[in-house]
Each structure stands twice: as C-alpha cells, then as structure tokens.
C-alpha cells in the first residue's frame, strides 16, 4: 500500500512538472539561456573598455573637426547625418535631413526633394541661406499648390548615394519633383575610401561606391554589418583583430574614381526611370564650382538626349558682373550670395515649367 501510494505521488509530480511534459521545448529553452546569458554578460562587460565605434569618421572624402559627432554609419549610404541635431548652425530633423520636420503630405501640397552634396547641404552657411530654403521662401506656390522644398543634401555624397537614398528612403516622402546636384565627389579617387568604418579591410580599399554597395549585399557581409551596428562586443572583437590597411593597397587604386563614367550614365538613367515610375518630375542641376568642370558634359548630353529639364549653372552664371571667386568660400562651396544666384537660376526654370507659379 505504501509503495503504491509513493508511486502515485511520483507520477503526480511528473505530470505537474512542466519540463517533464515539454521535454523538447525545455531543451531549447535551456540551450537558449545557456547561450544568451553569457552573450549578454559579454555585451555588458564590453562597455568596461569603452564604446567601440562602427565608424569613427565615416565621411570618407576628408576629415574636418566641425563634422565631429554630426554623422553616423549607414549600411546603405555608407554614412548619414544624425537625426535631431542642434549643433550651432547645423540642425537636422527626425529623419536626419537638414530641413524642417516633414509632415504627412497634404493633397494640395507640391513637394520638391532637393538631393545633392555639400553645396545642397549648405556647408558653412545657415540653413535659411541654402538655395533649397531660398526657393521655398521665394515661391509661394508651384503648379497651383503650396510649395515645400525638402533639403536632402549631405556633404560628400555622390550620384550613387543620391540615387540609393531616393530609391530606399526619399521616395517615401512623396515628392512631385526631384532635383539632383552631384558632380565633384563622383570624381574623387577611391583611395579616399581606404578606412571608412569598422568593417574596412584591404579587400575594400579599391572599391568604388557601387562595388562597395554590392559587396555589402552578400548575406555574410550584411550579417556582419548588422552585428557591428548593434553590438559593442562585436565591434570590440573586430577592433582587436583588425589590421591597418596597407597604404600600398590604397595607392594601387589611385586612378579609380568613386563613380566612373559608365556608372554615372547608368545612374542617371535609373534616376529617370524611378521618377517616371512614380510620376515624379526629374530635374538635373549642373553643379557650379570655381574651376572644376569635368562633371558637366555628361549631364548636359543626357538631359538633351532625353529632354530632361536642366539648370546649367556654369553656363547661366558665367557672365556674372563680378569676379566669380567672390561667390565662393573656397574652390567648391558657394557663399550665401552664391546660393542666392543658384536659387534665382532654378526659380527661373521652375517658372518656365509652371508659368502660373506665384512669387512671394
């Protein structure tokens, strides 16, 4: 009788034991806890040694102290502006754009997405002095609708980065027109790409923008990027085993540029097709620099061939009454007065495209 009672007690205990009734599930839970808890401890413990950056200086073309803590690593675009910044004259919205917050689009609103590099961004000047902001402040409406111009410019960006941004993010802003302002950065040598982030290696030293992007679409590379973005421990391990890139490996690719001619041509066509698919007007701006002109012929030829609206700034502004140098802060970046001239040239083109435009 005692034995039978004891056996029944054991049986009842087993039936009440969740782990006994769910052996397979319990096995995986224990395995998960055995792996997750040590990893969590390693992740927390890694901060004892500090925060390891994914990209100490992701602006790959040059290094400026004024850019410190203004940008961050981006798996698609290589780098982007940080969101919600308020650093002196540089402010960004919640989407990381140097533009006021972009609300949900109203039915009666006409939107222009202004894409470009440091001139579009407005390097060295206040936001309200950029040509994008001036266009919005000068024109009350476009196509009989209130006008909003969204500044999507980022210093150092190329035509490839501009297209990538439009395809994956900018299109979600629902623009009615897209203006592009890309030139000088396309011709920078890939030697500048030598050390761009914690994922750099000698294998990336000679890659142009498109090649680097494609390399990172590999499953293992994407996983590596994801882990490096989200785990301080992984970044710490990578920093321990990462070797400095051999300068010779960089110099060997000194003649390659970030966006070669055939890539520029293909990207312009991709811009055009993407805009047509989404019923967006595609507008090409030929950038205006102090001396650099290599970018201009292809833009002019492409626009003429496909009848794309173009604002040829070098041609329109070459006859200025004052010395050209007086409109530039340096060889590449216009002064506030230079931005006024750019805005005026663009506004004249917009008035031709939409004659009913109202000027404030």
Q: Per-residue DSSP letters for 317-349?
A: HTT-SS-GGGGBSSSS-B-HHHHHHHHHHHHHH
Cβ neighbours of residue 121 under 8 Å, at least 6 residues apart? Answer: 98, 130, 151, 153, 154, 155
The full DSSP string for 43-67 is: HHHHGGG-PPPS-S----S---GGG
Q: Which two tokens stand for residue 19?
A: 């782990």
Cβ atoms 287, 295 nearer than 8 A: yes
Give bridge partners of residue 148 from the DSSP assignment: 111
Cβ neighbours of residue 56 under 8 Å, at least 6 residues apart? Answer: none
Name the phi and psi angles at 22, rounded to 5.
-130, 60
**Average pLDDT of adjacent 10-residue blocks, the chain of 360 residues:** 52 57 70 74 76 57 55 84 85 93 92 96 93 93 89 94 97 97 91 50 71 82 75 75 56 76 98 97 96 95 96 87 79 93 95 73
Mean pLDDT of the chain: 82
pLDDT recorded at residue 354: 85
pLDDT recorded at residue 180: 98
Map out the domains of the chain with their CATH numbers: 2-49 (no CATH), 83-187+258-353 (3.40.50.1110)
Condensed to tens digits (0 to 9), the pLDDT of residues 246-274 reads: 555 555 556 788 999 999 999 999 999 99
Residue with tokens 């100490």: 56
Give the whole-angstrom CA distance, residue 123 versus residue 178: 21
Cβ atoms 257, 188 nearer than 8 A: yes
- Coil, strand or helix at 188: coil
The packing angle between helices 23-46 and 232-241, to 10°, is 60
pLDDT recorded at residue 194: 46
Q: Alpha helix locations (H) across the chain?
A: 2-16, 18-21, 23-46, 118-121, 131-138, 159-168, 209-215, 219-230, 232-241, 247-251, 261-277, 296-306, 313-317, 336-353
Please tell me what DSSP assigns to residue 289: -
């Amino acid at each position: 009788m005692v034995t039978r009672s004891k056996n029944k007690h054991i049986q009842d205990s087993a039936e009440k034991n969740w782990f006994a009734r769910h052996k397979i599930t319990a096995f995986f839970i224990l395995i998960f806890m055995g792996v997750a808890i040590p990893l969590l401890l390693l992740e927390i413990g890694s901060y004892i040694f500090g925060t390891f950056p994914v990209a100490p200086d992701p602006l790959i073309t040059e290094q400026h102290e004024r850019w410190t803590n203004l940008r961050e690593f981006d798996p698609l675009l290589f780098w982007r502006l940080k969101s919600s910044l308020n650093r002196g004259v540089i402010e960004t919205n919640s989407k990381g754009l140097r533009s006021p917050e972009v609300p949900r689009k109203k039915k009666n609103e006409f939107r222009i997405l202004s894409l470009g590099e440091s001139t579009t961004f407005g390097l060295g000047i206040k936001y309200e002095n950029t040509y994008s902001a001036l266009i919005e402040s000068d024109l009350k409406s476009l196509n009989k609708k209130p006008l909003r111009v969204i500044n999507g410019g980022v210093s150092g960006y190329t035509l490839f980065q501009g297209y990538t941004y439009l395809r994956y993010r900018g299109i979600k802003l629902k623009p009615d027109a897209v203006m592009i302002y890309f030139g000088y950065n396309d011709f920078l040598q890939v030697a500048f790409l030598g050390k761009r982030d914690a994922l750099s290696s000698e294998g990336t030293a000679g890659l142009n923008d498109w090649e680097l992007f494609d390399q990172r679409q590999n499953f293992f590379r994407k996983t590596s990027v994801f882990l490096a973005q989200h785990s301080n421990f992984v970044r710490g391990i990578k920093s321990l085993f990462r070797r400095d890139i051999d300068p010779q490996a960089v110099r060997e690719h000194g003649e390659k540029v970030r966006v070669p001619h055939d890539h520029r041509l293909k990207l312009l066509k991709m811009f055009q097709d993407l805009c047509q698919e989404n019923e967006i007007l595609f507008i090409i701006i030929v950038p205006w620099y102090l001396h650099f002109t290599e970018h201009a012929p292809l833009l002019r030829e492409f626009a003429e061939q496909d009848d794309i609206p173009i604002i040829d700034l070098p041609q329109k502004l070459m006859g200025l009454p004052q010395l050209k140098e007086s409109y530039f802060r340096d060889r590449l970046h216009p002064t506030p007065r230079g931005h006024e001239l750019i805005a005026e040239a663009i506004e004249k083109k917009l008035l031709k495209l939409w004659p009913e435009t109202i000027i404030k």
